[in-house]
C-alpha cells in the first residue's frame, strides 16, 4: 500500500509514496479515504476534478481540500483516486478522478480539514514521498 | 530553580503549576505552561512545547504564549493554547512609496516618523524602536515597526516611473495601485502605481545636549516646574522624542499662534489643528477642542466674514515651555526674537521640523506664475522698525538653515516700510530659487507641516516638475543627437524622420543652437491643467505610470512589517472550527431517567444528525446560511428554534455583529447548508449527564445546579463551513504573503500578518462562522428538547430545559486586558481554551455577574465533565482563560489498536451505566476514556491556580457521537 496512517495525538497523519507526483497525490487521497472509512464497498460513480495552484505543496493542499469539499457537497466518499500532476508557465495543475461512494452506503468518520502542519512533499530515490496531517 | 527539559526545550518552574520557557532566539515573549508535573510529562511527550514556542514568534504577541493544563499537539498553535496579540498590531505597509511589506533591495529608503528616511537595510539594529510612515485613509500616520527580515539572493527588479522614481523589489512585492495592492509580477510598463513623493531627510542621531533644565525656570512657580518634570519634559534633551513635537509647535506658533494670559492659541484649518492637538496631547497636555467662530474683517472699506478655527492649551507650563524654546512672548512685531540658537546644534531632520512647521504657517503655497514655471515660494515677515535688526536676523537664520539643508534661496529683500498705529514697520521677504531641482528638493525633503493644503499642493508640484524635467531631459538628448547627426553629414529631413518631435525643434537644435536647456513642448500641460488631471489622495500619494521594469540580478532583500490600527492582526491558524460547548439544565433527576436510558440514547441518535453525510436539523439554501452568518441565534429565535432566554445565556448573546456573510466563500456555504444543526464526528458529541457533585453551593445556586440533576452537554462547532472558511483564508494569506509565512516557523501558524484588508475580511468571516456555530449548537439543543418531550411525554418548559451557558473554546476575540498596568486592546486567541472571566467583569452575563462566568469542561466518556466559574486570577495569569477539556494523550490510530469499540461500549454500559451510541465502533474506540488526560487533574490545576474554580462535576448517562 503506498500510504500509511500514522500516529498523531489529536489528528491523523498520512504518509504516502509514489513513483510520480500524480501517484503520490492519489496515494495521499486514498489515505484520506482510509482515515474516514475502514471498509469501502464497491459501487458509486467516478467524478473528475481539476485543481491549479502556485506550487506543488499548495497544489496538494488545494487538491485534498477540494476532495473534502466534494465529499460534503456531493455526499460521497472519494476513493480509488487517480491523479496526474503537471506544471505549465509556473502554475501547477492536478487532473484527478475518484470513485464517489455514497455516504449512505458507508460507515464513515468526518475528517474536517487538510492542514499544512508538518506537511512534506519531497523527491526520494525511487520517486516521491508526502506527509499530510488531517484535522479530525 | 527547578527545571525540566523535553527534547531540548527547557522549562523553569516559576511556582507550583507554573512553568516558563524563557525567551531566546526568535521568540518575542516567553512561553508558559500551566500544569502539574504529571500533566507536564504528557505535554512534553509530543510537539506541544515546540508549537507553543513557535507561537511566540507571532508579531504582536503579548506577555506570554500560554499552554493550559490540557494542552496537546495541534497544528500551528497547540490545542490548549492562549495567545493574546495586540489588536493594533499588523505587519503591514511601510507605505512610504505605497509599499506594502516585503522584499525591497537594501538601498530602498523607508520614510520614518518626523520626516526622517533611512535605507531599509540599516533598520535592523533598532527597528523595534522606530516608527515608519504608513499611508492610510486618514492620511499618513506613524506606526511601530515590529518585524524585520532579510533574505539573501533574491532576484530583484528595478521599477522606474514616468517621474523618474526608482525602486528595486522582488516579483512578489506588492505595490499600491488604484485597484488595490498588486504584486510586481502582475504589473507592466504603462500600469499605474501610487507614489508618496515626500522623502524626508536622512536619519541621524542628534548630538545629545540639554535644551532646557530646571535652572531655566528658576523664576517660575515650583508647581509649574513639577508639571514639566512629571511629563518627562525637564530636563529636555535634544534626543528626546518630545523635542521633535515641540520644534513644530514652537515654529508654527511663531507663525500662526498667539499667547493670551496662560493660554497658547494656534490658528489653522480644522484638520491641521487636529494634528497640532495630537502633538500637544502626546506631550502630556490637554488641548482644547477645535473652536470655530465667524469673524468680520474689513479691508479697504469692504467687510467680509470668514470662519476662524483655533485650538488652545490652557497649561501655564506649556506656554512657558514654548516661550523658553523661542516662541515670541509678546506682540510679535515688537519682539526681539530670532530663530532659536539651539537649532544649529540639532540634526538636519530636526531643523527641517522647525522650518516646515513655520513654512506651514508663513510660506506661500506652490503656484505657477506662467503656465509652466513656478513662483518662488516666499516668506514675508514684519517687524517694527525699532526691531528691524532682530527681524533681519530671524530671516537670515531661516535662509541659512535652508542652505544647510541643500535648498537655495534668493537674496533677502526689505520690501516696504509702512506707518501703523504701533509705529513704523518693516517688511522683509525672501523666496526659494525656483528652478525645478531646487523646488523638488524643498518639497520632498522639507515642505510644509501642519498645513494639509500646502502639502498636497507641494506633492502635485513635485510630480509636475519631475515630469517636466524628464521631458526636458529627453528633448535635450534629442537636440544633442540631432546636432551630432547633422555634424556627421546626415540630411536634416532624415534627422527629422528619426525623432518624434516637431520639425522646428530639430531645425533650431541643428542651426540656431540654444542657450540653456530646451523648453517643454507646447502640448505639455501647464500646472493648472495638470492639477485638473492629477489627484493627491488623503494619504498624500499620487498616481504615476510605470515607465520600465528591468531585472537587476540577485540581491539581499529586506522586509519590515509595521503596526497600524487600520490593519488588525488576526492569526488564522489558531482559530478553526469555532467549536464550543453548551450545557442545558433540566429539572429531572437521575431517578426520573433510570430505566429510560436505552430509549433516550436511541431516540437522540436517531434525531440529532451526526457523522459524515448525516445532514442537519435544518437543510436549506444558501440564503438561510447567509442569514445565520449575519444574525446568529436571533435567526433561530425568529424561526422558532430558540427562545429569548437562550440568547441571554449565550456568550455574546449568540451574536457577533462583525459577522459578514459576504466574507464567507460560496464553497463554505455550500458545505454548510446541509449541516445546520449537526454534531459531526471525532471528539464532538452530545451527552446526557447527571450532576454528581456540587463543590460551591453559592455558585451552584446561581447556576441552578444541584446533585442528581440531569443536564445535557453539547460539544461541536461550525462544521464544514468553518473549516472551509479557515482553509480559504489560509490559502489566500499564503498567496498574498507567502514569503512572510515562510519566515514563521510553521506555515500553519499562518497568521494573516499582513494585508489589512485580508486580515479584516478574515475577522468578519470568522465572526460569521461563530454565529453559525452558535446556531448549530442551538438547533441541536432545541432538537434535544423535542426528543425529551417525546420520551418523557412532557412539555420541555415543564422540564425547565433551559440553557446554562454556551461558550466557545476555539475562538479569537477582541478584548481589553491590563498588561503591565496599562489597558491594551488585544485579540485573545483561545485555541482549545475557554474564556474564564471572574465575578464582576462587565462581559459576564448579568445573571452570573456576581459569581463569575460559567465554564463547561467536557471530559471523556468514563471520566465525566466539570462546570467551573471564572477565577479571580484568570485576568492576571491567562488573559481570562482556562482549560477546555481533558486533552488527548493517545493517537486515534493507537487507540483503535488498544481498544475495541464494542467492548468499550459494553463495559461502559454494564459497569458504569453509561449508554453510548455512535456511528461506528471505531469512533467509540478512538474516544475511549483511556485516550484522554485525566480531567480531574486538569481541573485541579485550574482550581489551584484560581483561573477557573470548580463548581460542579457531572457524569455521563447517555452519549451520542458521530
Does the pLDDT value for residue B461 go beyond 80? Answer: yes
> Biggest alpha carbon distance in chain B?
116
Are B741 and B731 spatial neighbours (Cβ–Cβ below 8 Å)? no
Which one of A61, A77, A136 has the shortest CB-CB distance to B892?
A: A136
- State the Cα–Cα distance between residues B210 and B217, nearest whole angstrom: 14
Query: In chain B, which residues have their Cβ closer than 8 Å to the Cβ of A11?
Result: 74-75, 892
pLDDT band at B421 (very low <50, low <70, confident <90, very high): confident
> Rounded to a whole number, what is the distance in Å from the CA of A133 to chain B's nearest CA?
8
Cα dist from B303 to B175, B267, B293, B421, B448, whole Å:
51, 21, 16, 20, 31
Contact status, residue B510 vs residue B495, Cβ threshold 8 Å = yes
Residue B210 has which C-alpha cell? Answer: 540639554
What do you get for the CA distance between the two ends of chain B, in Å?
Answer: 47
**Is B96:B170 a contact under the CB 8 Å cutoff?**
no
pLDDT at residue number B410: 94
E strands present in B269-377: 291-299, 302-313
- Region for B63 from its dihedrals, namely left if φ exceeds 0, alpha if ψ lies in -120 to 50, beta otherwise: left
Residue B100: pLDDT over 50: no
Eight-state DSSP code of residue B654: G
In this structure, the strands spanning B709-716 and B685-694 are antiparallel
User: Do B579 and B810 touch, CB atoms closer than 8 A?
Assistant: yes
Q: Among A110, A113, A136, which would you mutate to test the B interface (most chain B Cβ atoms within 10 Å of its Cβ)?
A: A110
Helix (H, G, I), strand (E, B) or coil at B55: helix
Task: Give B75→chain A minimum CA distance, Å.
Answer: 5
DSSP secondary structure letters along B168-191: EEETT-EEEETTEEEEGGG--TT-
| pLDDT of B573 strictly over 50 | no
Statement: residue B89 has pLDDT above 70: no
Q: Cβ–Cβ of A109/B746 closer than 8 Å?
A: no
Query: Closest residue of B to A8, CA-based?
Result: B891
Across chain B, mean pLDDT equals 86
pLDDT digits (tens, 9 = 90+) for B618-632: 988 889 999 999 999
**What is the rounded average pLDDT of the residues B537-557?**
80
Taking only the tens place, the pLDDT of each residue in B596-613 is 999 999 999 999 999 888
Instruction: Pick the residue from chain A with its C-alpha nearest to B734.
Output: A58
Q: Is B649 on the interface with A (CB under 8 A)?
A: no
pLDDT at B576 over 50: no
Q: Do B724 and A69 touch (CB under 8 A)?
A: yes
Matching residue, cell 527534547: B7
pLDDT at B66 over 90: yes
What pLDDT was estimated at residue B264?
95
The pLDDT of B299-320, averaged and rounded, is 85
- For B613, the closest of A58, A103, A112 (CB atoms) is A103
Q: Is the distance from CB of A108 to CB of B612 less than 8 angstroms?
A: yes
Mean pLDDT in residue range A102-128: 89
Catalogue the active-site residues of B.
884
Mean pLDDT, to the nearest integer, of B6-22?
93
Domains of chain B: which residue ranges? 3-86, 95-196+539-562, 210-450, 453-533, 570-889+932-961
Please check whether the two domains, B95-196+539-562 and B210-450, share a CATH topology: no
Of B886, B871, B873, B945, which Cα lies nearest the Cα of B699?
B871
Q: What is the pLDDT of residue A129?
A: 96
How far apart are the CA of B114 and the nearest CA of chain A, in angstroms? Answer: 41
pLDDT in the model for residue B643: 95
Chosen from A3, A6, A9, A49 to mutate, greatest number of chain B CBs within 10 A: A9
Q: How far is CA B555 from the centre of its chain?
A: 30
Reported as a single tens digit per residue, the pLDDT across B159-201 is: 888 888 887 777 777 777 777 767 788 888 888 887 778 888 9
Share of chain B above pLDDT 90, in %: 51
- Per CATH, the homologous superfamily of domain A16-128 is Archease domain (3.55.10.10)
pLDDT per position as a tens digit, B25-36: 888 899 999 999
Task: Of B113-117, B151-155, B685-689, give the range with the top mean pLDDT.
Answer: B685-689
Q: Hey, are the CB atoms on B892 and A12 less than 8 Å from each other?
A: yes
Helix (H, G, I), strand (E, B) or coil at B671: helix
Inspect the interface and report whether the beta carbons of A113 and B919 lie closer than 8 Å: no
Interface check A86 vs B, CB under 8 A: no
Q: Does residue B128 surpass a pLDDT of 90? A: no
Residues 155-194, chain B, touching A (beta carbon < 8 A):
none
Nine-digit cell string for A90: 509556473
Q: How confident is the model at residue B360 (pLDDT cuts 50, 70, 90)?
A: very high
Under 8 Å CB-to-CB from B9, ≥6 apart: which residues? B21, B44, B49, B50, B53
Distance between CA atoms of A8 and B239, rounded to whole angstroms? 55
Are B601 and B648 within 8 A, CB to CB?
A: no
From A56's Cα to the closest Cα of chain B, the distance in A is 13
Q: Report the CATH superfamily, name and number, of domain B210-450.
A: Homing endonucleases (3.10.28.10)
Q: Give the pLDDT of residue B808.
A: 85
Q: Distances in Å between the alpha carbon of A55 and those of A61, A91, A93, B731, B735?
A: 10, 7, 9, 12, 10
What are the chain A neighbours of B920 within 8 Å (beta carbons)?
Answer: 107-109
Do B734 and A112 make contact, defined as CB atoms within 8 angstroms? no
Q: What local confidence, expressed as pLDDT, does residue B92 receive?
A: 23
pLDDT score for B748: 62
Kindly write down the DSSP assignment for every residue of B112-153, as one continuous string.
EGGGEEEEGGGGTTTGGG-EEEEEETTEEEEEEEEEEEEEEE
Assembly ipTM = 0.90
pLDDT at B860: 78
pLDDT at residue B103, as a whole number:
55
Tell me the pLDDT band of B90, cut-offs 50, 70 and 90.
Answer: very low
As given in the structure block, the three cell numbers for residue B177 are: 495601485
pLDDT confidence of residue B915: 93
Question: Which ranges of B812-945 would DSSP assign to H, the alpha helix?
Answer: 874-878, 892-898, 901-907, 921-926, 935-945
At residue B570 the predicted structure's pLDDT band, cuts being 50, 70 and 90, is very low
Whether residue B441 has pLDDT greater than 50: yes
What fold does the segment set B570-889+932-961 form as a domain?
Answer: tRNA-splicing ligase RtcB (3.90.1860)
Under the banding of pLDDT at 50, 70 and 90, the label for residue B562 is: low
Return d(Cα B607, Cα B843) in angstroms, integer. 35
Measured distance CA(B614)–CA(A9) in Å, rounded: 26
| Structural domain boundaries in chain A | 16-128
Mind listing the pLDDT tens digit for each residue in B826-872?
878 888 899 999 999 988 888 899 999 999 999 877 778 999 999 99
- Determine, for residues A109 and B681 on separate chains, whether the beta-carbon distance falls below 8 Å: yes
pLDDT tens digits for range B506-534: 888 888 767 778 888 888 999 988 888 88
| A40 alpha carbon, distance to own chain's centre | 16
Q: B95-196+539-562 belongs to which CATH class?
A: mainly beta
b/e per residue, B452-478, with b = 16+ CB within 10 A? bebbbbbbbbbbbbbbbbbbbebbeeb
Which residues in chain A touch residue B923, judged by CB atoms under 8 angstroms apart? 109
Amino acid at each position: 500500500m503506498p500510504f500509511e496512517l500514522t500516529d498523531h495525538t489529536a489528528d491523523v497523519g498520512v504518509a504516502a509514496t509514489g513513483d510520480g507526483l500524480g501517484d503520490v497525490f492519489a496515494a495521499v487521497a486514498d489515505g484520506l479515504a482510509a482515515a474516514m472509512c475502514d471498509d469501502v464497498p464497491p459501487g458509486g460513480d467516478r467524478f473528475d476534478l481539476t485543481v491549479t495552484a502556485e506550487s506543488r505543496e499548495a497544489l496538494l493542499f488545494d487538491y485534498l481540500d477540494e476532495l473534502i469539499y466534494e465529499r460534503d457537497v456531493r455526499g460521497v466518499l472519494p476513493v480509488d483516486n487517480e491523479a496526474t500532476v503537471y506544471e505549465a508557465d509556473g502554475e501547477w495543475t492536478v487532473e484527478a478522478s475518484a470513485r464517489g461512494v455514497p455516504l449512505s452506503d458507508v460507515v464513515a468518520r468526518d475528517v474536517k480539514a487538510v492542514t499544512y502542519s508538518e506537511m512534506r512533499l519531497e523527491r526520494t530515490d525511487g520517486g516521491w514521498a508526502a506527509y499530510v496531517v488531517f484535522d479530525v | 530553580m527547578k527545571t525540566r527539559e523535553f527534547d531540548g526545550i527547557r522549562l523553569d518552574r516559576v511556582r507550583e503549576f507554573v512553568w516558563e520557557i524563557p525567551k531566546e532566539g526568535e521568540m518575542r515573549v516567553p512561553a508558559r505552561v500551566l500544569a502539574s508535573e504529571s500533566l507536564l510529562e504528557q505535554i512534553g511527550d509530543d510537539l506541544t512545547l515546540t508549537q507553543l514556542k513557535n507561537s511566540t514568534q507571532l508579531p504582536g504577541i503579548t506577555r506570554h504564549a500560554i499552554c493550559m493544563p490540557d494542552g496537546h499537539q495541534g497544528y500551528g498553535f497547540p490545542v490548549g493554547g492562549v495567545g493574546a496579540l495586540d489588536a493594533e498590531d499588523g505587519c503591514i505597509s511601510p507605505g512610504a512609496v505605497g509599499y506594502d511589506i516585503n522584499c525591497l533591495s537594501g538601498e530602498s529608503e523607508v520614510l520614518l516618523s518626523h520626516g526622517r528616511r533611512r535605507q531599509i537595510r540599516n533598520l535592523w539594529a533598532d527597528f523595534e524602536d522606530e516608527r515608519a510612515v504608513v499611508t492610510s485613509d486618514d492620511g499618513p500616520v506613524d506606526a511601530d515597526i515590529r518585524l524585520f527580515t532579510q533574505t539573501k539572493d533574491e532576484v530583484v527588479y528595478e521599477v522606474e516611473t514616468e517621474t523618474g522614481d526608482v525602486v528595486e523589489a522582488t516579483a512578489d512585492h506588492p505595490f499600491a495601485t488604484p485597484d488595490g495592492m498588486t504584486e510586481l509580477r502582475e504589473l507592466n510598463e504603462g500600469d499605474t502605481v501610487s507614489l508618496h513623493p515626500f522623502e524626508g531627510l536622512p536619519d541621524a542621531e542628534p548630538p545629545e545636549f540639554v535644551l532646557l533644565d530646571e535652572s531655566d525656570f528658576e523664576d517660575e512657580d515650583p508647581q509649574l516646574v513639577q508639571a514639566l518634570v512629571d511629563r518627562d519634559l525637564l530636563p529636555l534633551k535634544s534626543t528626546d522624542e518630545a523635542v521633535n513635537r515641540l520644534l513644530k509647535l514652537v515654529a508654527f506658533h511663531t507663525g500662526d499662534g498667539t499667547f493670551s494670559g496662560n493660554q497658547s492659541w494656534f490658528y489653522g484649518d480644522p484638520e491641521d489643528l487636529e494634528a497640532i492637538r495630537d502633538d500637544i496631547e502626546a506631550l502630556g497636555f490637554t488641548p482644547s477642542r477645535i473652536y470655530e467662530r465667524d469673524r468680520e474683517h474689513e479691508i479697504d472699506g469692504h467687510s467680509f466674514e470668514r470662519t476662524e478655527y483655533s485650538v488652545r492649551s490652557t497649561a501655564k507650563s506649556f506656554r512657558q515651555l514654548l516661550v523658553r524654546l523661542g516662541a515670541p512672548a509678546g506682540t510679535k512685531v515688537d519682539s526681539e526674537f530670532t530663530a532659536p540658537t539651539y537649532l544649529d546644534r540639532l540634526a538636519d531632520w530636526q531643523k527641517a521640523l522647525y522650518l516646515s512647521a513655520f513654512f506651514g504657517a508663513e510660506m506661500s503655497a506652490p503656484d505657477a506664475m506662467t503656465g509652466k514655471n513656478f513662483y518662488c515660494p516666499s516668506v514675508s515677515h514684519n517687524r517694527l522698525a525699532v526691531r528691524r535688526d532682530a527681524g533681519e536676523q530671524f530671516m537670515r537664520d531661516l535662509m541659512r538653515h535652508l542652505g544647510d539643508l541643500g535648498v537655495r534661496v534668493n537674496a533677502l529683500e526689505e520690501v516696504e516700510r509702512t506707518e501703523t498705529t504701533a509705529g513704523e514697520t518693516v517688511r522683509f521677504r525672501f523666496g526659494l530659487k525656483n528652478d525645478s531641482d531646487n523646488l523638488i528638493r524643498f518639497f520632498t525633503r522639507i515642505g510644509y507641516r501642519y498645513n494639509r493644503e500646502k502639502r498636497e499642493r507641494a506633492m502635485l508640484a513635485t510630480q509636475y516638475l519631475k515630469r517636466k524635467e524628464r521631458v526636458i531631459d529627453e528633448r535635450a538628448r534629442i537636440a544633442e543627437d540631432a546636432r551630432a547627426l547633422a555634424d556627421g553629414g546626415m540630411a536634416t529631413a532624415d534627422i527629422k524622420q528619426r525623432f518624434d518631435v516637431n520639425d522646428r525643434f530639430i531645425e533650431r537644435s541643428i542651426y540656431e543652437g540654444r542657450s540653456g536647456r530646451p523648453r517643454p513642448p507646447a502640448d505639455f500641460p501647464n500646472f493648472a491643467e495638470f492639477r485638473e488631471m492629477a489627484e493627491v489622495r488623503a494619504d498624500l500619494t499620487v498616481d504615476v505610470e510605470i515607465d520600465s521594469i528591468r531585472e537587476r540580478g540577485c540581491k539581499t532583500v529586506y522586509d519590515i512589517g509595521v503596526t497600524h490600527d487600520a490593519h488588525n492582526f488576526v492569526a488564522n491558524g489558531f482559530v478553526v472550527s469555532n467549536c464550543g460547548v453548551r450545557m442545558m439544565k433540566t429539572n429531572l433527576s437521575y431517578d426520573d431517567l433510570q430505566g429510560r436510558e436505552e430509549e433516550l440514547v436511541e431516540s437522540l441518535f436517531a434525531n440529532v444528525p451526526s457523522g459524515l453525510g448525516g445532514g442537519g436539523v435544518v437543510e436549506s439554501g444558501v440564503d438561510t446560511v447567509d442569514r445565520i452568518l449575519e444574525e446568529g441565534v436571533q435567526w433561530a429565535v425568529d424561526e422558532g428554534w430558540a427562545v429569548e432566554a437562550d440568547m441571554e445565556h449565550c456568550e455574546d448573546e449568540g451574536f457577533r455583529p462583525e459577522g459578514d456573510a459576504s466574507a464567507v466563500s460560496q464553497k463554505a456555504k455550500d458545505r454548510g447548508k446541509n449541516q445546520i444543526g449537526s454534531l459531526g464526528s471525532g471528539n464532538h458529541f452530545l451527552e446526557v449527564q447527571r450532576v454528581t457533585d456540587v463543590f460551591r453551593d453559592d455558585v451552584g445556586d446561581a447556576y441552578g445546579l444541584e446533585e442528581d440533576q440531569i443536564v445535557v452537554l453539547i460539544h461541536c462547532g461550525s462544521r464544514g463551513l468553518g473549516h472551509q472558511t479557515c482553509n480559504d483564508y489560509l490559502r489566500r494569506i499564503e498567496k498574498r504573503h507567502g514569503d512572510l509565512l515562510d519566515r514563521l516557523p510553521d506555515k500553519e501558524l499562518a497568521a494573516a500578518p499582513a494585508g489589512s484588508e485580508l486580515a479584516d475580511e478574515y475577522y468578519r468571516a470568522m465572526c460569521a462562522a461563530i454565529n453559525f456555530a452558535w446556531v448549530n449548537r442551538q438547533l441541536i439543543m432545541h432538537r434535544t428538547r423535542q426528543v425529551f418531550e417525546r420520551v418523557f411525554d412532557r412539555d420541555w418548559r415543564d422540564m425547565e430545559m433551559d440553557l446554562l451557558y454556551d461558550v466557545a473554546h476555539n475562538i479569537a476575540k477582541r478584548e481589553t486586558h491590563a498588561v503591565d498596568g496599562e489597558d491594551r486592546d488585544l485579540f485573545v486567541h483561545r485555541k482549545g481554551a475557554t474564556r474564564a472571566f471572574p465575578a464582576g467583569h462587565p462581559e459576564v452575563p448579568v445573571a452570573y455577574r456576581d459569581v463569575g462566568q460559567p465554564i463547561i469542561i467536557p471530559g471523556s466518556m468514563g471520566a465525566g465533565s466539570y462546570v467551573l466559574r471564572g477565577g479571580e486570577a484568570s485576568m492576571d495569569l491567562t488573559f481570562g482563560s482556562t482549560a477546555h477539556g481533558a486533552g488527548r494523550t493517545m493517537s486515534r490510530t493507537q487507540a483503535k489498536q488498544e481498544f475495541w469499540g464494542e467492548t468499550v461500549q459494553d463495559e461502559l454500559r454494564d459497569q458504569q451505566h453509561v449508554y453510548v451510541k455512535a456511528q461506528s465502533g471505531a469512533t467509540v474506540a478512538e474516544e475511549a476514556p483511556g485516550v484522554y488526560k485525566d480531567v480531574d487533574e486538569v481541573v485541579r490545576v485550574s482550581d489551584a491556580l484560581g483561573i477557573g474554580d470548580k463548581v460542579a462535576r457531572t457524569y455521563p448517562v447517555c452519549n451520542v457521537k458521530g
